[in-house]
Structure 1
Amino acid sequence: MDLGLTDKVAIVTGSGRGIGAATAQRLAQEGAKVVIADRDPDTATATANRLRAEGHAVHCVVGDITRQADVQRLVDETVAAFGTVHILVNNAGFPRDGFLTTMSEEDWDLVVDVILKGAFLACKAVMPHMIAQRWGRIVNISSRAHLGNPGQANYSAAKAGIIGLTNALALEEGRYGITINAVAPGFVETEMVRALPHYEQIRDRAVRGTPVQRAGRPEDIATAVAFLASECAGYISGETLHVTGGRYAS
């Protein structure tokens, strides 16, 4: 299936590794020009160099997604490098787990700001370009955790907020030919997840609760994102696609 992504320009936040890196690679393989955006210069540069070595058109921007000036610089550099921006994938985020009674205000703010404020700032920065060209695709990475996970009040709240943001913007921006959707991954084996304490126990419990009896791979999420970013999904907006192997409850 031709997704119609040749020469489209895509920004993927948090794309130095994990789901973001896999998404950037998949979009590049479909012919898109990709901007790697991450706060970690080492992983961002390594991923950009790997994609360039594969023959893809890539630009790399290092910055803090919670800072408006950094986000605007990201978009400005994208336009300078590739002329415009067609696709935004809001992937940046991470957990800082803990039960509510022991969760610090700092851990609440950090998780919510990176996931939710970062997506807000990025959407706001790209919107004038998408409106002007009457075409755009925004795919926000939520999580199955939007349904609620014990020990993840901050992460669950932020990921639920992502879905609310998606729905509101889909109603606002559809008249300009812009679609906004969310992807909600289940348990996905990434470098960050494998570094968690008791990773094997977490993985085994997740797999036991998943009708498709395996953990997710970053490529599973990347495929869903590429479809929603494509011409093929032009009549889909305001939706949340769960890519969980059928797992919804904890």
Structure 2
Amino acid sequence: MDLHTHVLPRMDDGSDSVQTSLKMLQMMATHGVDAVCATSHFYAEKMNIETYLEKRDTAWRALQQAENPLPVSVYLAAEVAYYSGISEEKNLEKLCVQGTKALLLEMPYGDWNSFQVEEVMSLAWDFGFDVVLVHPERLTMGQKNRRWLERLFDLPMQVNAGSLRHWRTRRAALEILENTSKPLLGSDCHNLTSRAPNLWEGRNVVKHKLGTEFLDEMDDNAQKLLQPRFATS
């Protein structure tokens, strides 16, 4: 399961065409990926949820019409950029992985503050979302955010496979996987060149550094995360 991909065509800075999307999915299938979450970016300051969903449905139909069946199963979802007041959003469940309460959340790239951290915790504890922090290793290079991250280790966290491939980011990525309550992995793939699908490369690093049992635990975490909780419309 690749939990983090930008494979829907012309949705964001990911796939630029249906043909690119199909080649990305075929590459994943060749390397043993069975299913992916299509997590196109959602930025509240750029569009509302209903407009985003309409655009996503159009991209999804275009992909389905091009090839049936697709080489891997696709779960519609979103990579939701944190915004102040997100916990008050009435339609937030529509951005979860379809049929679940799994919300893939991207924290700000700047310094975090106590209000942001508390609101994210509230999404999980008060509103019942399965909040998954995506690629936190890219957001916690400073000491301040690293301290805030420790407050959030009870949440599932998804590390990018690419962060495990490079020595500059590997240590931080492995530390997050070892400390989060539910370690998860995704490719965060955007195209076929600079950010191509690479989940299998990250899996190999996890297997080598943390062991086969840890890799199996990650797979189990992903399966449990995608168990249906409620139907989205």
Shorter-chain TM-score range: 0.3 to 0.5
Q: TM-score under structure 2 normalisation? A: 0.40
Q: TM-score under structure 1 normalisation? A: 0.38
Between Structure 1 and Structure 2, the one with more helix by share is 1
